[in-house]
Amino acid sequence: MSLEIYIDLILVIFLAITGIAVIYVRNLFAVAMLSGIYSLLMASIFVVLDAVDVAFTEAAVGAGISTILMLGVLAITGNREKVSNKSPILPLLIVICTGALLVYGTWDLPIFGDPNAPVHTHVAPEYIANTYKHTGMPNIVTAVLASYRGYDTLGEVGVIFTAGVGVLLLLSRRKTTNKLNQKSKSEDQS
């Protein structure tokens, strides 16, 4: 076993702890910062697992932009989570059952880093062998993203475009004040 697997082990344990903390902490500002830390840890794990492009994106998007957006929304809505009196037993039961089923499924998965796993033997070698011949590009991820799978990426850009337009449509109009809002505002003032 190489050193990288131990680094990976430590990082995923940190990741799990951060995930649990996100559930328990009730101050939403702290939760937003924790989710930024979560993304940064995730990016480090991606580097250990050789996915440098993905790590780059996760660090910029998850730890950067998402956290800023969360904080922007919390500045509008306030940062306390109400303590709910709902019983957590039923959700916990559902979650534990689903998790147990998924863990049962992992026995059939190939062991970590196995070079003979089905995912590495079918299509991927073709791309690794031929990308430079076809596109003259050393970075296979960029070549697959922009050239071989150009249609898909066009679709992804369409999704981002649509999300941008959606946010514009939702938030660019003036504030609509209805009765309920006015009531709660006057309660706040009194």
Please list every residue from 113 through 142 that binds another protein, using CB under 8 A. 113-115, 117, 119-120, 123-124, 127-128, 131-132, 134-142
- Tell me how far, at minimum, the Cβ of 190 lies from another protein, in Å: 14
- Tell me how far, at minimum, the Cβ of 177 lies from another protein, in Å: 8
Burial of 126 (0-12, 13-18, 19+ CB in 10 A): exposed
Which residue from 7, 27, 37, 157 is in contact with another protein, where contact means CB under 8 A?
A: 157
SS3 assignment for 78-99: CCECCCCCCCCHHHHHHHHHHH
DSSP 175: P
Which residue from 3, 5, 30, 190 is in contact with another protein, where contact means CB under 8 A?
A: 5
* Residues that contact another protein, how many (by CB under 8 A): 122
Instruction: Kindly write out the interface string for residues 51-90 of this chain, putting x where it contacts another protein by CB under 8 A and - elsewhere.
Output: xxxxxxxx-xxx-xxx-xxx-xxxxxx---xx-x-x-x--
- Tell me how far, at minimum, the Cβ of 174 lies from another protein, in Å: 11
Residue whose token pair is 């910029």: 60
Say how far apart CA 171 and CA 70 lie, in whole Å. Answer: 15
Where in 6-35 is the site for another protein (CB under 8 A)? 8-9, 12-13, 15-16, 19-20, 22-23, 28, 31-32, 35
- The Cα-based distances of 56 to 29, 33, 44, 46, 60 in angstroms read 25, 19, 9, 9, 6
Which residue from 7, 33, 37, 38 is in contact with another protein, where contact means CB under 8 A?
A: 38
Nearer to another protein, 185 or 190 (CB): 185
Residue 25: name the closest of 37, 11, 41 by CA: 37
Ramachandran assignment for 50, one of left (phi > 0), alpha (psi -120 to 50 degrees), beta (any other) = left
Which residue from 3, 102, 189, 190 is in contact with another protein, where contact means CB under 8 A?
A: 102
Q: Does 156 participate in binding another protein (rule CB under 8 A)?
A: yes
Say how far apart CA 38 and CA 15 lie, in whole Å. Answer: 6
- The Cα-based distances of 98 to 32, 86, 104, 138 in angstroms read 27, 21, 10, 42
